[in-house]
């Protein structure tokens, strides 16, 4: 297999996994993944952002706090805008299709709001993955630094896939930046970007059958000149 074929297979194998076994991830392996993630391009070599592993009692307290806030309908001002408001129709259709793929995989009907809420709440428990990461970025950095951090994040997810690990980036954590800072002892200069769940996939979990489609190249690529 050529290097290109190997990369294509790796990229296509990576999916957002929401069901994990309890097999631990060695600290040395996590360190290796983070080293590889930092090989991503970075404007002026700023290498923005931090990855914080949350463990033990701190992780449990944070998860309980976020889950409780979600159940109560509490809202916080997010550190950055994730989705456009209002959502354009063509993007809304992609969002709905992704949600349908997820909930259909675990048999939750569209009208089952309680079931959907229960599944969404699992975001705040990092899907019970053995490794829970919180990703932050320094306050005041420009939009380009988010792009650089995003490339490092994708590098982390691909590195994990290459070593037999599964992963899921968790944007829902950005909904409760105040709670995250409080439980992790972070100052206001740390903006909460997302969470990441890492571990070994539970192959028997129905939720891991979720697949989302990708738009055709012709819809986002053109040649000028």
Q: What is the pLDDT of residue 210?
A: 95
In the numeric block, the tokens 């569209």 are attached to 110
Question: Where along the chain do its domains lie?
Answer: 14-82+124-209
Q: Compute the half-sphere exposure of residue 27: CA atoms within 13 Å on the CB side of its CA.
A: 3
Q: What is the pLDDT of residue 3?
A: 84
pLDDT-derived band at 168, boundaries 50, 70, 90: very high
Contact yes or no for 181/80 (Cβ under 8 A)? no
51-84 pLDDT, tens digit per residue, is 999 999 999 999 999 999 999 999 999 999 999 9
The phi, psi pair for 145, rounded to 5°, reads -70, -30
Q: What is the pLDDT of residue 2?
A: 84
Q: Rounded mean pLDDT of 104-127? A: 96
Contact yes or no for 192/79 (Cβ under 8 A)? yes
CA 16/CA 157 separation, integer angstroms: 9
> How much of the chain, in percent, has pLDDT values that exceed 90?
97
118-154 pLDDT, tens digit per residue, is 999 999 999 999 999 999 999 999 999 999 999 999 9
Whole-prediction pTM? 0.95
Q: What one-character DSSP code corresponds to residue 22?
A: S
pLDDT at 180 over 90: yes
Helices vs strands, H then E, count in the chain: 7, 4
pLDDT at 1 over 90: no
The top-level CATH class assigned to 14-82+124-209 is alpha beta
CA 210/CA 204 separation, integer angstroms: 12
């Amino acid at each position: 297999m050529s290097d290109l074929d190997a990369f294509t297979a790796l990229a296509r194998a990576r999916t957002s996994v929401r069901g994990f076994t309890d097999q631990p991830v060695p600290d040395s392996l996590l360190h290796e993944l983070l080293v590889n993630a930092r090989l991503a391009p970075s404007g002026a070599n700023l290498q923005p952002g931090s990855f914080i592993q949350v463990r033990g009692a701190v992780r449990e307290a944070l998860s309980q706090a976020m889950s409780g806030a979600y159940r109560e309908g509490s809202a916080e001002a997010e550190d950055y805008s994730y989705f456009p408001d209002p959502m354009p129709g063509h993007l809304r259709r992609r969002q709905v299709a992704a949600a349908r793929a997820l909930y259909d995989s675990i048999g939750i009907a569209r009208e089952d709001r309680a079931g959907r809420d229960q599944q969404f709440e699992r975001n705040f428990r990092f899907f019970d993955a053995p490794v829970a990461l919180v990703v932050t970025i320094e306050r005041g950095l420009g939009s380009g630094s988010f792009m650089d951090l995003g490339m490092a994040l994708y590098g982390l997810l691909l590195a994990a896939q290459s070593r037999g690990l599964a992963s899921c980036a968790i944007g829902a954590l950005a909904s409760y930046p105040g709670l995250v800072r409080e439980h992790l002892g972070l100052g206001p200069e740390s903006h909460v970007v997302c969470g990441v769940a890492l571990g070994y996939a539970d192959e028997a979990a129905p939720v891991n059958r979720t697949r989302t489609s990708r738009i055709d190249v012709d819809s986002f690529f053109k040649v000028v000149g």
